[in-house]
């Protein structure tokens, strides 16, 4: 039986990441990068597709776990009738080779444990050649890949597995490490696990202490920020949407996508979350990644890129993996990178404008790129597109896509005026006005008293919650209030928000997915802007309660089973959490502090109202 998605924890080294189950099994790891082939793929198959287990066979074992405060160091405690021991899992921030390190500490009595290492390169398909080197070291090689195990307890080969049974008593410490290297290189030196643990703890504690978002939700914010940092590829500054692929939006369904890439749509949320929390180095690295990735012909801009800015993200399926709880297909790559999504133009322009306003400095090549993007956008904004949700069907005139085209020209005008940048501002104003009028005439349904998902449609869409946040209309506009109320009436399930109308099953939920967590945070932001502070706070608390015991969120939540679904942990969910927490903290501060924030955000729409993207 598969573990529930929320039973996993994340560890990582700012180059790759692993998921560790509550049972002590590492069931997912792509090496050496987030988007490399997995060498542990049990998450999407069976243990024979690769895992590393250190756990107890005792059916009465009690398991508890936590992250060390302010770190990405996981502690899993096994308590049996005979004793207790803690397993410490971590990946030191990368400096050369990548390592997964595990340490067992005996706390009380004696605990019997079992270890099982099954390495399968190529997403669980390739059995490596394993060579014993002395009593405590083994090397596994398959093609270009090599992994080296160092263990302070004996192990043995058993079939195509490396296994060991051992006991640990109070006061004992056992260490294990698994290191990756290219197979044509020398075997990595055995790492000092205890010294690495100390350095790793110092790194994360120092990093998390930088957070500037205080208030009653500070602990949740810090955990989300650590998660976002762990999803960042340090060499380039790119942030993956999630470290996993093909975790289903509906258990047993087909909406299983590869999220190990960087979406331009996340650009503004990422920048604001990092800058609001005081992480300007990370924000600048993300801005620079964005400029490099989007560089080139505006006609060739994509909605997503690889972590180094790669453009070719060819999608294929893995027939030998059964999928998480039989949810097939398992997909590698993402065909949506070919789609036309007009909203990304607004996201790029908004992100670069926020970067300037936030003090990240002017980038001459960036402004040239922005002007070129606007020239292209002016010729295509009237076209239908696939929209923010990457619908794999007929293109439509999505309202949110048109609004983001408006955002692109709006932010260009603001950047030109605030930072004395050259450009045809009068012409941009005229285009901005045309787009605004077009949206208000064709994207709004007077009978519903709401903006709709697409021109001429009667369906609603949670992305419309962002209209006041983006500054398209003020929150007091009756069309905005009507849109929020309509979404509350038609897209709410179990107190949470669906992405859009998709048709319902008998229990009121759409086929194929759960409620989308980021959209529920957007509703909290919209409620704040409408002055419904208690409602916003209550919704935020509801969302916090959906996190797993370690504070992690997936992409979606399935109210029927009470389970997290979709790729995990999801950057979009944690970005939304950080920004909503920031907005709530500003509302709680004294009036003079809110006024200071208004000065700091000079030039942004509705500058006295906290905003996640405006």
Helix (H) and strand (E) counts for the chain? 15, 28
Final residue before a domain boundary, out of 191, 206, 221 = 206
Question: b/e for 375-398, b at 16 or more Cβ within 10 A?
Answer: eebbeebeeebbbbbbbeeeebbb
DSSP bridge pairs for 385: 396
Could you read off the pLDDT of 32-55 as tens digits, one per residue? Answer: 999 999 999 999 999 999 999 999
Q: Which residue from 105, 110, 97, 117 is spatially nearest to 40, judged by alpha carbons?
A: 117
CB within 8 Å of 171: residues ≥ 6 apart: 106
Q: Which residue from 423, 434, 418 is spatially nearest to 374, judged by alpha carbons?
A: 423
State the pTM of this model.
0.94
At 462, which CATH number? 1.50.10.10
DSSP bridge pairs for 117: 52, 162
Q: Are residues 342 and 463 in the same domain?
A: yes
Q: Are residues 449 and 434 in the same domain?
A: yes
Helix-strand-coil split of the chain, %, nearest 5:
35, 25, 40
In a domain, 82, yes or no: yes
CB within 8 Å of 194: residues ≥ 6 apart: 103, 173, 175
In a domain, 123, yes or no: yes
Q: Are residues 128 and 47 in the same domain?
A: yes
| Residue-level pLDDT at 514 | 84
Q: How far apart are CA 153 and CA 248, in angstroms?
A: 38
Longest dimension (CA), the chain: 78
| Residue-level pLDDT at 590 | 40
In a domain, 613, yes or no: no
Evaluate whether 341 touches 387 at the Cβ level (below 8 Å): yes
Final residue before a domain boundary, out of 206, 225, 249 = 206
Locate 381 and state its tokens.
């904004």
DSSP bridge pairs for 52: 26, 117
Q: Are residues 132 and 229 in the same domain?
A: no
Q: Are residues 197 and 278 in the same domain?
A: no
CB neighbourhood size of 508 (10 A): 12
Q: Are residues 176 and 197 in the same domain?
A: yes
Q: H helices of 390-470, where? A: 399-419, 425-442, 467-470
Q: Are residues 386 and 529 in the same domain?
A: yes
Helix (H, G, I), strand (E, B) or coil at 344: helix
For residue 32, cis peptide bond before it (omega within 30 degrees of 0) = yes
Q: Are residues 159 and 277 in the same domain?
A: no
Q: Which residue from 385, 406, 381 is spatially nearest to 396, judged by alpha carbons?
A: 385
Locate 273 and state its tokens.
């979350």
In a domain, 171, yes or no: yes
In a domain, 606, yes or no: no
In a domain, 214, yes or no: yes
Q: How far apart are CA 466 and CA 471, in angstroms?
A: 9
Q: How far apart are CA 524 and CA 573, in angstroms?
A: 13
Q: Are residues 448 and 532 in the same domain?
A: yes
Helix (H, G, I), strand (E, B) or coil at 351: helix
Final residue before a domain boundary, out of 145, 179, 206 = 206
Locate 241 and state its tokens.
């949407």
Evaluate whether 3 touches 9 at the Cβ level (below 8 Å): no
Q: Are residues 61 and 151 in the same domain?
A: yes
At 118, which CATH number? 2.70.98.10
What is the SS3 assignment for 131-190? EECCCCEEEEEECCEEEEEEECCCCEEECCEEEEEEEEECCCEEEEEEEEEECCCCCCCC
Q: How far apart are CA 110 and CA 412, in angstroms?
A: 66
| Residue-level pLDDT at 380 | 97
**Burial level of 200, CB count in 10 A (0-12/13-18/19+)?**
buried
Locate 9 and state its tokens.
């924890």
The sign of the torsion formed by the CA atoms of 530, 607, 409, 335 equals negative
Domain total of the chain? 2
Q: Are residues 119 and 197 in the same domain?
A: yes
| Residue-level pLDDT at 392 | 75
Could you read off the pLDDT of 49-83 as tens digits, one per residue? Answer: 999 999 999 999 999 999 999 999 999 999 999 99
In a domain, 611, yes or no: no
CB neighbourhood size of 368 (10 A): 11
Helix (H, G, I), strand (E, B) or coil at 309: coil
Mean pLDDT in order along the chain per 10 residues (614 residues): 94 98 98 98 97 95 98 98 98 95 98 96 96 89 96 87 93 97 94 97 97 92 98 96 96 94 91 93 94 92 95 96 96 92 94 90 81 97 93 90 98 95 97 98 98 96 96 96 97 93 54 85 96 96 98 96 96 96 76 31 32 37
Q: Are residues 518 and 419 in the same domain?
A: yes
| Residue-level pLDDT at 362 | 67
The whole domain housing 46 covers: 5-206
Q: How far apart are CA 577 and CA 574, in angstroms?
A: 5
In a domain, 375, yes or no: yes
């Amino acid at each position: 039986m598969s573990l529930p998605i929320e039973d996993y924890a994340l560890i990582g080294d700012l180059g790759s990441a692993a998921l560790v189950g509550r049972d002590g099994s590492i069931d997912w790891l792509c090496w050496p990068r987030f988007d490399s082939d997995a060498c542990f793929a049990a998450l999407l198959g069976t243990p024979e597709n690769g895992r590393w287990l250190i756990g107890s066979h005792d059916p009465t074992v009690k398991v508890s776990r936590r992250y060390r405060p302010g770190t990405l160091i996981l502690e899993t405690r096994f308590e049996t009738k005979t004793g207790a021991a803690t397993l410490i899992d971590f990946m030191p921030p990368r400096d050369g080779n990548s390592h997964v390190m595990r340490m067992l500490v005996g706390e009380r009595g004696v605990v019997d444990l079992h270890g099982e290492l099954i390495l399968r390169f190529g997403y669980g398909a390739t059995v490596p050649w394993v060579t014993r080197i002395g009593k405590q070291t083994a090397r596994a090689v398959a093609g270009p890949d090599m992994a080296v195990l160092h263990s302070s307890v004996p192990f043995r080969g058993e079939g195509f597995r490396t296994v060991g049974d051992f006991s640990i008593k109070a006061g004992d410490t056992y260490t294990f490490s698994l290191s990756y290297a290219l197979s044509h290189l020398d075997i990595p030196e055995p790492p000092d696990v205890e010294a690495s643990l100390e350095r790793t703890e110092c790194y994360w504690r120092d990093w998390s202490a930088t957070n500037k978002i205080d208030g009653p939700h500070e602990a949740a914010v810090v955990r989300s920020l650590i998660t976002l940092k762990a999803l960042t590829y340090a060499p380039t500054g790119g942030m993956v949407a999630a470290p996993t692929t093909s975790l289903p939006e509906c258990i047993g369904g087909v909406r299983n996508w590869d999220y190990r890439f960087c979406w331009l749509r996340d650009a503004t949320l990422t920048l604001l979350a990092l800058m609001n929390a005081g992480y300007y180095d990370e924000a600048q690295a993300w801005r620079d990644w964005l400029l490099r990735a989007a560089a080139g012909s505006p006609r060739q801009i994509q909605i997503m890129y690889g972590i180094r800015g790669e453009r070719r993200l060819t999608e294929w399926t893995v027939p030998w993996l059964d999928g998480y709880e039989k949810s097939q297909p398992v997909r590698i790559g993402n065909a949506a990178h070919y789609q036309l999504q007009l909203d990304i133009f607004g996201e790029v322009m908004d992100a670069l404008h926020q970067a300037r306003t936030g003090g990240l400095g002017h980038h001459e090549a960036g402004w040239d790129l922005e002007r070129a993007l606007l020239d292209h956008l002016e010729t295509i904004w009237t076209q239908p597109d696939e929209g923010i949700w990457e619908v794999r069907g007929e293109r439509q005139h999505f309202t949110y896509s048109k609004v983001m085209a408006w955002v692109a020209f709006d932010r260009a005008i603001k950047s030109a005026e605030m930072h004395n940048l050259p450009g045809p501002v009068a012409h941009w104003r005229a285009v901005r006005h045309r787009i605004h009028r077009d949206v208000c005439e064709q994207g709004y349904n007077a009978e519903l008293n709401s903006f709709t998902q697409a021109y001429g449609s009667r369906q609603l869409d949670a992305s419309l919650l962002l209209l006041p946040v983006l500054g398209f209309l003020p929150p007091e506009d009756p069309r905005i209030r009507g849109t929020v109320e309509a979404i509350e009436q038609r897209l709410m399930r179990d107190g949470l928000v669906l992405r859009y109308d998709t048709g319902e099953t008998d229990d009121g939920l759409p086929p194929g997915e759960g409620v989308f967590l980021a959209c529920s945070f957007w509703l909290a932001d919209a409620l704040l802007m409408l002055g419904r502070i208690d409602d916003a706070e209550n919704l935020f608390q509801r969302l916090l309660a959906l996190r797993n015991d370690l504070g992690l969120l997936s992409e979606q939540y399935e109210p029927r089973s009470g389970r997290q679904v979709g790729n995990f942990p999801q950057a979009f969910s944690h970005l939304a959490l950080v920004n909503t927490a920031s907005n709530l903290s500003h509302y709680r501060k004294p009036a003079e502090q809110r006024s200071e924030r208004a000065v700091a955000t000079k030039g942004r729409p509705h500058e006295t109202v906290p905003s996640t993207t405006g």
